[in-house]
A and B are shown apart, each in its own frame.
Chain A
Amino acid sequence: MTANETIHPTATATEIDASCKLPLLALLVGASVWLVIGSVMAMIAAIKFHAPDFLGACPLLTYGRVAAAANDALVYGFCLPASLAVIIWVFARLSQTVYALPLVPVVAAHIWHLGVFVGIVSILLGNSTGFAWLEFPRGGSILILVAFVLIAIPTAATFGFRRDRTLYPSHWFLLAALLWFPWSYASANIFLVAMPVRGVAQGVIDIWFGNNLLFVWFSLVGLGVAFYFLPKLTGRPLYSYFYAQYVFWTLVLFGTWCGIPAGSPFPAWIPALSNLAGWLLIVPVLGVLVMTVKTLGGAPVTTSSAETLPYFKVGLVAFIVSGIALHLVAHNEQLARITEFTWFGQAQVQLQIFGFLGMILFGALYYILPRALGFDFLFPKFTRAHFWFNLLGSVGLVIPLAIAGYAQGSHAYNLDAALPALRFSSMGLLLILVGNLFFAVNLLAMFLSWKITLVKSIFSAVTSPLTAVEVKS
């Protein structure tokens, strides 16, 4: 027995789950609050297209500020910390050992949510940096970068202490995600905020970061988590190790170059290269399609998988649709001309947030939370309702937005052409908001009952009479 095995012996599932409890709670309680705040702000922004002067007297809630704050609250407030929580648990389970240094992510989670708070308030007060997806000013962005690194280090250490040395497909995707975010976020902030480059290069870097966050990072996390849960829930192996490796490499090599539209005011080689990458993106997308069909096709639904498996199915379908949309726009110049600068782009963003990553994270969390916290959801019916609200909401949000984009692009950007579909999409957003409330209520109720148990046990420990042994000594 080596020293490593003595310090990090193989642990049972219950021990592993218990070791992740505090980091998960610290990350997810804040995340669920941001999820609700983000959805509400998105709703306020959407209402402005029904009534332009809704809450218009308040500069904090003008469309340009509240729309950016909503996006950032959803992505930095919910998607990233919830992803980190799932990664922490998946890594500990895959390593078959307890999570290393669980108190570090607890502290980091508080730093993270403080950073998001600083960032969102700054945007609303008009102190955003003005770069899409990098709106947080220096204070907020430094806090979340530090917090991410603080969470990544013990998570990587847990990976290092793994009992089974073989790497699973989930390992590659999630490990890459842990490296990806700090790298891209730091580079973009250095070149845009700390030592800004001159002129239009800012535009290239901003688009590069947005694509790397919303497409590449989301895909790495979403697919990595899905590839962990699919075999677990279906009871059959992932199809296949080879395909997973193929998807990983092509996604990493092609996905990172996508997103720069043809005709941007950049040197011609930049959009041309990006277009080529978008065209090649069909390769990993088809890979995921084959993996999904072959792993899930005809898999028996058991009582244990009935709750969570649908989330993963919908999430993977959303990924495939999202990837095909990126490919088509890169492939078809006419379509690109119609859809650029329209709500079509917003439809792709919402599909990535709610349809793909959101779905997979919710599925994973509904599986993880009862195990990690050691008791069931207080409102089990909400978990089922959340699925349907999120599914119908995503469809009702993304499809009308895409239609609005197409209508707008084929009518010379006349907003009136897009308005009917755009207004309809608010319905989808409303359903998502209700679904998110179900999630937040369930999670916060769980958190409160855990707190009450904790306080009760401390109280009883304090008030219990001293034992005879202690009195003697």
Chain B
Amino acid sequence: MLRTTPFHSRTAPLCEAQNWRRWAGYVTAGSYELTHDREYHAIRSSAALFDVSPLFKYEIRGRDAVRFLDRVVTRDVSKCVPGQVLYTPWCDEAGKVMDDGTLSRLEDDTFRLTAAEPNLRWLLDNAPGMDVEIADVSDSLAALSLQGPNARSILGSASDGAVDGLGFFRLTTARVKDVSVTVTRTGYTGDLGYEIWVDASDAPRLWDVLMDAGGPYGITPAGILALDVARIEAGLILIDVDYVPAHRAIIEDRKSSPFELGLGWTVKLDKGAFVGRSALVEEKRRGPEWELRGLEVSWESLEEVYTEVGLPPQLPSVAWRTSVPVYSQGKQVGYATSGCWSPILKKYIALAHLHASHSRPGTDVHMEVTVEHQRRRAKARVVETPFFNPERKRAAK
């Protein structure tokens, strides 16, 4: 039996499409409406509300919390002040990524870590000898993500003002009407947005309050299909789609280092010892073999391959999550793992793993497209991610 989230009593009646998707053993909405278009546009033009409760959440507290976390994750936790949030991956001893998530410093010695997969055992295994308690709060803590240009106005109108000046990747406790919550200015859309963490028993009430306050601002419940497009535009990777967690990889080749996933900026080699450090020092010296980049598929080229069969270009209506070969001069030089038509950029984009020899932005490659059952290749250009990065994402006001 799949489980339902603490918001299910609210999301179920709204899910007209009955399009439910599995997420970490829970059911969550794929889309609420019959098509996800409007949900997507809400993220970019008004505000979208996502139920992200299925995330795994761990609370880490104790005198050695910083020391412990610094041992596990690649970012420098000692530099994270209370009220700050870090995005970080963590690696195995070989420097290969196991998972990624956000780490919030709630208080001096209290942190909350989110993860896409269960990580309790890994955390416990790394804790011996340290004064730290690790609690799995996945079930007791529910979460909503409110994303889009109107997100601040909505939270502002429903809460005690604590959120107004909240900076990018900062957190605060707040009262949303009569509900006590933690708000982090984070999200998976690359837009202005917040994630709101609430005791599971208060979840339905929080949903009601936000939907009520958000009505005049165009708040729209949104599902995974819309989120998937937004996160590709934001260049944000997805576990099991864009990378295989190291401890689940059956063969060595499936594993990826942070450098290979475009997460080199999260690896703080000078912070002292941490799991995977020596392997990462070595990889940094050598340079990574692969790099994760954006691809922009050429419209003209796409038009050409479709015109040959008498059709206008057929664009994917939802984001795809398959492995698609990328070529240069007839030789395969990589593979794309996620792609979509970006409605806001009006471009066909993809995230691709490219061999370092072909990963320089500006490089011209070819991506495979299937046109009327035939494998064809369309021109594409290697670009930096994020594809879409609006100022409002980080803006103070």
- Chains A and B come from one and the same complex: no
Query: Which A residues are within 8 Å of any B CB, using their own CB?
Result: none
